[in-house]
Structure 1
Amino acid sequence: MKGKGRPWSLGKKVGLPVVFLSCSVFFLAGFFGAMLLSQDISSFRPNSRTLESVDDEEYESMPHGYTGESSIDSIPFQVLSWAPRALYFPDFATANKCQRIIEMARANLKPSSLAYRKGENAENTKGIRTSSGTFISASEDETGTLDIIEQKIAKVTMIPWTHGEAFNILRYEVGQKYNSHYDVFNPAEYGPQKSQRIASFLLYLSDVEEGGETMFPFENGLNMDGGYDYKKCIGLKVKPRRGDGLLFYSVFPNGTIDQTSLHGSCPVIKGEKWVATKWIRDQEQDD
């Protein structure tokens, strides 16, 4: 019994501090090791699928040509669709600029017209487009507002401003709409064209309480079975917000018509919709 009791007595006097010290060392080592390990693991996690902010970074501009610019611009945008190619530009213009454009156009509004296809006339196309509008070129605007917008559109499209038609300023009141249509002119339906519309930029000049969305019913190939009702408001819808811009392309890079670029304006249910449309062509336009 004494022989068995002696090791216990020795452990009690010497072993406990050693054990306690050993446990403390292993605990601390495990704790810090876990921290380091967690850091290593986190470094192997996939990056978030969001773009990093570059607001604080500075860029050195490159030497530029006669028609280039000396500064670097940052214009935020979002890709809404690849079929059709549609991009959204938040806060493209200030509220003051939008209101200025509305006031320029208000006194000259007339019922919106259509380009007729073979066999069409005012009677058999009644009700397709019920908005009112007017055309204003940047050169007619003494305030310079439209010139600023036009230059900015040229930057985001990489198509010179000389390829753009005059701005079509449109107002949609309650119940007014524009049935689904193409901005591009198919020669088979409209006859030979001197130049072709390849892209459209819509600058929303006002908020709309309800309705008035720009819609793409054939987005990603949907509803293209031949039974689509052109009066329906379906598909990808873009809600108008004052100052925001929407760019979409009517043709592919090879010049053929993109059938998914069919679009329209849903009826305004509550409020009023104002929009400035810039149609962009493949050739320079007379001012």
Structure 2
Amino acid sequence: MKTKTVKGNWSFRTNKLTFPYVFLICIFFFLAGFFGSTLFSHSQDGDGYGLRPRPRSRLLESRKEGKYNLMTAGEFGDDSITSIPFQVLSWKPRALYFPNFATAEQCESIVSVAKAGLKPSSLALRKGETAENTKGIRTSSGVFISASEDNTGTLDVIEEKIARATMIPRSHGEAFNILRYDIGQRYNSHYDAFNPAEYGPQKSQRMASFLLYLTDVQEGGETMFPFENGLNMDGSYGYEDCIGLRVKPRQGDGLLFYSLLPNGTIDPTSLHGSCPVIKGQKWVATKWIRNEEQDD
């Protein structure tokens, strides 16, 4: 009887002590599981290196594994999804960056086609300006080549892709201006759009520019926007300093910026230039896009 009494008392004490412990243990595992699943979810949404949030730009990309219920296309529409990744660099001016827009092979092909026709780059002159008094503003070499003149077909592919990225028909584009900048060469800040008060009446206006970088540049050669977001517009800027938003050339990458505001007037923040090349050589293909169709 004594043994049974002791055994019974031990059993009662164990039950009395076990319940709080079991309850706390359950809470512990519940919280551990909850936070563990949260950590796992964040790591999946990020880039695999921790608790980084999912970049907003990913939401704009089409994914191969996705299934789309496509609409019936119009006569000249597509029956498939086109994915062209981009990053908004600025809203003032409106500037977008397109990584890996062209392949290395395409870039090298364009450079090869352009080499034979290079000449010193010229300027569109304002009233009263001459080639003599504008020396040093633009020191690159260049050549104009239309897609139809490129027997390799590379410029035709690039031109079609630019039209899709901008949603502006190919018929609005000028011929490609292929430019080479050697060490020390630059292009002082300027506007691509032509102010009629300075250049006279215009049949059409350059509304946007697309730059395709054909080579890496080891140092210098950035495309700069000194008036980005309204900065440096107090009248003290000398059009030579490499300041403001700067985009480093990387082979195959593209840069799109708009020279006109949605109301059709010139965007004052679209002033831009090319910083001097310090090390290496810069090749770029520029496509100027007009607000009117161009004559063939």
Q: Equivalent residue for 1:232?
A: 241
Flag the 1:41–1:135 CA change in 2: closer, same or farther, 3 A: closer
TM-score, with length taken from structure 2: 0.88
Q: Equivalent residue for 2:19?
A: 22
C-alpha distance in 2, partners of 1:134/1:14? 96
SS, match of residue 203 in structure 1: strand
Give the superposition deviation at 1:58: 2.5
TM-score, with length taken from structure 1: 0.91
Q: Equivalent residue for 1:56?
A: 65
Give the superposition deviation at 1:37: 5.9
Q: Equivalent residue for 2:285?
A: 276
Q: Equivalent residue for 1:3?
A: none
Q: When the two structures are aligned, how many residues end up with a matched partner?
A: 278
C-alpha distance in 1, partners of 2:155/2:67? 29
Q: Does 1:180 align with 2:177?
A: no
Question: How do 1:65-84 residues align onto structure 2 when only pairs under 5 Å count?
Answer: 65-84=74-93
C-alpha distance in 2, partners of 1:93/1:171? 18
Flag the 1:228–1:63 CA change in 2: closer, same or farther, 3 A: same
Flag the 1:240–1:37 CA change in 2: closer, same or farther, 3 A: closer
Give the superposition deviation at 1:57: 1.0
Question: How do 1:1-287 residues align onto structure 2 when only pairs under 5 Å count?
Answer: 12-35=9-32, 38=35, 48=53, 50=55, 51-52=58-59, 54-287=63-296
C-alpha distance in 2, partners of 1:97/1:106? 15
Give the superposition deviation at 1:20: 3.9
Flag the 1:37–1:132 CA change in 2: closer, same or farther, 3 A: closer
**AA aligned opposite 2:14:** P
SS, match of residue 14 in structure 1: helix
The CA RMSD over aligned residues, in Å, is 2.2
Q: Equivalent residue for 1:5?
A: none
5+ long unaligned stretches in structure 2: 46-52
Report the structure number with the largest CA radius of gyration: 1
Give the superposition deviation at 1:283: 0.5
**AA aligned opposite 2:272:** H
**AA aligned opposite 2:223:** T
Give the % identical residues: 67
Q: Equivalent residue for 2:48?
A: none
